[in-house]
Structure 1
């Protein structure tokens, strides 16, 4: 017990001291953890600590991280990535493998060894890259999304790699491998040099000994169970846990789900990280998504920190110093080769500007799966032990150098490409009664309409490229972040009559509307809503002039569809108006009971109102439309349900508050 407490305290104090210092110096938390591991490595060696065994436990942080990443991706969004997932990911793995293989063969290695080394270095570090991208707020950028797509493909590619490697066995190494295997069996608790072998070489399995077709059926059944269980079983499980009203039970349940899915994937020979990612995608639309995120996040952070420290502590400095020049040369050579391949792919797939360099530099390292594959190649007589030990150092060093590449990107590359950073906000030298935040495809039309009527609005946009293009046409737009209070004050928001929020980020729209309504109660705020759910959030913060960005065009298309089906223009107009009146009243009625603080499926008032809208209101609308189609608008005037039925909580006056006619 004392040994465990001492080891735990040692890792905790190393992280607590090193990470804040590294963050303060602008080095990032990942480099802080790596340095902490290097610093405590002599102490761990003195205590005879099996660092590789600890790394096995810490790698579960990667599993948790991919589960959380999956929670942020809806299935339709993942499906939309398929072209880049296969193109970028497949291209990176294939080209890097071939390039490394070619270089190894030039230096005299057999093609089997060269191919195995190529597969090892084709992989990158999911843990380091995703952690750093999230930490620096780069995950949503084109470079960040492209990096994620490649990492996801790599995690999938590990499975066929593990199947291919045994086929590359060299006859002269087979006797040595069997001797190593017998020795490893004798030391049941494992030696650090063979720590990763146990991941794939032994243990329980649901597919061991099965014919190929049966193993495939079992594997597909496991994947199906994860998908079905995530969509069907999650809700009743959490409802059952809620009976106890104990916070720790929710945390235990979240951990149980992640561990159980990882276990199932391991039993069928799949990557646990890939399985939990799939489960996260299935649960992305679940009302318990935020609950799962908040429960898993602390464990993920701690385990990833421990993993990074084990990488630093696992560097064999004796071997490194004995072969310093060749090890550093191999590391830099591999990273340069990967950067060249990634940069070429970025050009082909039209990743531009600083995102191209973020993509190329961020994925230049080898990955944590490299440790697994190298141990696997030794166990299967593919790569000699001495060469594998040398390559393990290259993998570890490349991971240690990765934070330095991100610093290079931050300090030297991004400022040269990011015009938004280099350009100062414009000084607004004239005030207007109207302020428009955002001059894209929505704000631009509003600006043209108001300018034509002589109102001359003050338009603010954060895209310097867009502003430079508009200047060529003589259109005046101010550069700046319209969500900043100081810029709004400079634009004269205190004296303005109207603020039009037409930026394209949902969260920024909501926060800007909230700020404006709270601080300028006499200001009329008109907001662009991205979707129906966004309408409810804007309504909740007090906005009553909300325009859904695709609503009017959809109504026009619906009206045109009526005419294409043989109805007259008069009938099509009347039927469209009937739908518009009902939908507007329904939106306001539902918004009155929508609560942004709880999941919609747990809001009984919201559910009841939706059933009412989809039931009696929808039936009445259908009857009115059929009457219009049959007799024409003169005999069946469209009337919104909220104006005729006393069963709704929305009165006629409330259904049409000032400025909300287009809700």
Structure 2
């Protein structure tokens, strides 16, 4: 057997085994891979199977013998994460978020930190220790939150703004704790902080100017070689150089990674860079999550679980309340504020850094640092579950608010569009183009929220509820459009509405000719089969590409459409033209 002090092949085996075997198993059961990586770290770490290596040497090959050996890879994973986030942004978008970053972000960090410090001080911790620990626990996890929320949704934008401020504030917080130490440097600490700020501004300026000049040329040369290896090497060189530059200036390396991503995002090569670095980011982030799992002490979990659970809940409740309140004051919707608050409730990977600094400075004891390290690891493990809970809470809040809006519907609603997915949006776009009023209705609160953000007039409502259909006042509507992808519900709703609004034009989306025939029998004015329209559009595109004049093509398409509709109506036993359409046609001809 190889000597136990052999290099880290066993650590590599554990990491690759987690990525290749454990995570797909979790994905099959729809469990977040974040939890999978953390559990691998817990089981393979020094507090579990790793502790049994002296008795069972063969376990060496299935455990991580030296937790510190993989920490550089974990840090690199966070750096690549921030780099990829920078690739999704732009300077214009970042500037537009400045109020959120330095307003809500600063208020969230220091507000939650102050409240947690007061709670800790009441429990008997010293004033300086309470401040240091409060600020540490107020931080939230960039590495876990942003992959869950993204940066484009309202929740993702709000979370990113606050997380960005926390990342920027990390180094000043560390210097502040050093100045607060019993044997702290005092004025020297403040002077050191000022020096870091000055050097940081100079470094960031140099990175911006140098990146603008050099990156397009460097990536252009790499692209001309058509070598993926060279392109990857150039990408990693940029992110590592930027991270080392900000580290040398006294800032966090993740600030340099974010700047590198922003600079590349302004070039035409950002999509290729993002794609080629994605596998490294995912694996390195998995290594980071394994290190989080190794922070969990099973013995402490068993012996002190009531205290750990209580401490975790206090931290989460404070952060949820502060984040929700600030986002609501800034104008965010109630559901967005609630989901963001719950998602950011747990502490951060940077909490572990601040705890280490506070312990080194003598602000807290090693036992206190160990306890709150376990609380932090518990919170990081629970973050995917918190994300699900936040989504459910958001939907409930938005659902309740939308139901209250039912009584506020305008009298002149024009056309009612039931079902507001891609088809419903297209119909609404055409109505808006011609200046016609409309009201969209959808039973999916996520669709409703997304449509409202894009400027559509949409109401949340479940049309299977008879009382909602009554409140739509379809007797005053100009037309009803049914775009739902539910054949049975579409037929049922058509029959119900036609029974009490006989003259209302009802245009319904049908799956095929048979479904269209059912809709005509139920009373639809028009039923549009998806298969019919797709075949006509294909034929139109083909004829135009073959050189046939557009006018005759459009005429033939209309003729074929009328012929198909007539055939469907005959199959449905409705050979006669509907009375409403006949009257309108005769009026138009007259």
**TM-score bucket of the superposed structures, by smaller chain:** 0.5 to 0.7
Q: Is the 8 A contact 1:166 1:382 kept in 2?
A: no
Asked if 1:20 corresponds to 2:8, the answer is no
> What TM-score do the two structures reach when normalised by structure 2?
0.68
Which residue is 1:43 aligned to? 49
Deviation at 1:149, TM superposition (A): 0.8
Asked if 1:153 corresponds to 2:161, the answer is no
Q: Is the 8 A contact 2:319 2:345 kept in 1?
A: yes
Deviation at 1:385, TM superposition (A): 1.3
Q: Is the 8 A contact 2:481 2:508 kept in 1?
A: no
Deviation sequence 1:448-468 (CA, Å, 0-9, x none): 46x9xxxxx999986487244
2:538 pairs with 521, 536, 539, which one? 521
Deviation at 1:370, TM superposition (A): 0.8
Q: Is the 8 A contact 1:516 1:523 kept in 2?
A: no
Deviation at 1:416, TM superposition (A): 6.3
- Going from structure 1 to structure 2, the CA distance change for 1:438 and 1:428 (only over 3 Å counts) comes to closer
CA distance in 2, matches of 1:361, 1:61: 24
CA distance in 1, matches of 2:154, 2:226: 42
| Structure 1 spans left out of the alignment, 5+ residues | 175-207, 430-434, 452-456, 496-514, 525-543, 545-663
- Going from structure 1 to structure 2, the CA distance change for 1:493 and 1:263 (only over 3 Å counts) comes to same
Asked if 1:281 corresponds to 2:253, the answer is no
Deviation at 1:2, TM superposition (A): 5.7
Deviation sequence 1:145-191 (CA, Å, 0-9, x none): 111111111101112101100122135xx9xxxxxxxxxxxxxxxxx
Asked if 1:391 corresponds to 2:397, the answer is no
CA distance in 2, matches of 1:460, 1:439: 13
1:538-577 alignment, distance < 5 Å = none
Which residue is 1:445 aligned to? 432
Q: What secondary structure sits across from 1:520 in the alignment? A: helix
CA distance in 2, matches of 1:458, 1:377: 57
- Going from structure 1 to structure 2, the CA distance change for 1:478 and 1:113 (only over 3 Å counts) comes to farther
Q: Is the 8 A contact 1:144 1:358 kept in 2?
A: no
Which residue is 1:347 aligned to? 328
Deviation at 1:4, TM superposition (A): 2.2
Aligned-residue CA RMSD (Å): 3.9
- Going from structure 1 to structure 2, the CA distance change for 1:233 and 1:492 (only over 3 Å counts) comes to same
Which residue is 1:105 aligned to? 121
- Going from structure 1 to structure 2, the CA distance change for 1:474 and 1:366 (only over 3 Å counts) comes to same
1:131 pairs with 133, 144, 147, which one? 147
- Going from structure 1 to structure 2, the CA distance change for 1:418 and 1:287 (only over 3 Å counts) comes to farther
1:283-432 alignment, distance < 5 Å = 283-410=264-391, 413-414=394-395, 417=398
CA distance in 2, matches of 1:357, 1:212: 35
Which residue is 1:89 aligned to? 105
Deviation sequence 1:79-124 (CA, Å, 0-9, x none): 1111111222011101111100110111121111110011101100
Q: Is the 8 A contact 1:169 1:380 kept in 2?
A: yes
- Going from structure 1 to structure 2, the CA distance change for 1:339 and 1:212 (only over 3 Å counts) comes to closer
Q: Is the 8 A contact 2:84 2:261 kept in 1?
A: yes
CA distance in 2, matches of 1:339, 1:467: 29
| Structure 2 spans left out of the alignment, 5+ residues | 54-59, 404-414, 461-470, 491-506, 514-531, 542-549, 551-590
CA distance in 1, matches of 2:249, 2:482: 55
1:238 pairs with 207, 216, 219, which one? 219
Q: Is the 8 A contact 2:324 2:341 kept in 1?
A: yes
Deviation at 1:213, TM superposition (A): 6.9
Deviation sequence 1:389-444 (CA, Å, 0-9, x none): 1111111111112122123234565366369999xxx9999xxxxx984366x544
Q: Is the 8 A contact 2:141 2:347 kept in 1?
A: yes
Q: What secondary structure sits across from 1:336 in the alignment? A: helix
- Going from structure 1 to structure 2, the CA distance change for 1:446 and 1:5 (only over 3 Å counts) comes to same
Deviation at 1:51, TM superposition (A): 1.7
CA distance in 1, matches of 2:190, 2:401: 59
1:119 pairs with 135, 138, 155, which one? 135
| 4+ aligned runs moved over 6 Å, structure 1 | 208-214, 419-422, 426-429, 457-461, 492-495, 515-519
- Going from structure 1 to structure 2, the CA distance change for 1:9 and 1:221 (only over 3 Å counts) comes to same
CA distance in 1, matches of 2:373, 2:441: 53
Q: What secondary structure sits across from 1:383 in the alignment? A: coil
CA distance in 1, matches of 2:439, 2:70: 59
Which residue is 1:591 aligned to? none
Q: Is the 8 A contact 2:239 2:256 kept in 1?
A: no
Q: Is the 8 A contact 2:336 2:394 kept in 1?
A: no
Which residue is 1:549 aligned to? none
CA distance in 2, matches of 1:382, 1:479: 65
Q: Is the 8 A contact 1:436 1:447 kept in 2?
A: no
Q: What secondary structure sits across from 1:369 in the alignment? A: helix
1:227 pairs with 193, 202, 208, which one? 208
Q: Is the 8 A contact 1:112 1:168 kept in 2?
A: yes
CA distance in 2, matches of 1:61, 1:516: 49
Provide the aligned length of Structure 1 versus Structure 2.
Answer: 450
CA distance in 1, matches of 2:342, 2:304: 26
Q: Is the 8 A contact 1:71 1:284 kept in 2?
A: yes
CA distance in 1, matches of 2:331, 2:192: 44
CA distance in 1, matches of 2:274, 2:162: 23
Deviation sequence 1:476-526 (CA, Å, 0-9, x none): 4546589x9xx9x9637999xxxxxxxxxxxxxxxxxxx9889713569xx
Q: Is the 8 A contact 2:199 2:249 kept in 1?
A: yes
Q: What secondary structure sits across from 1:283 in the alignment? A: helix
CA distance in 1, matches of 2:168, 2:194: 20
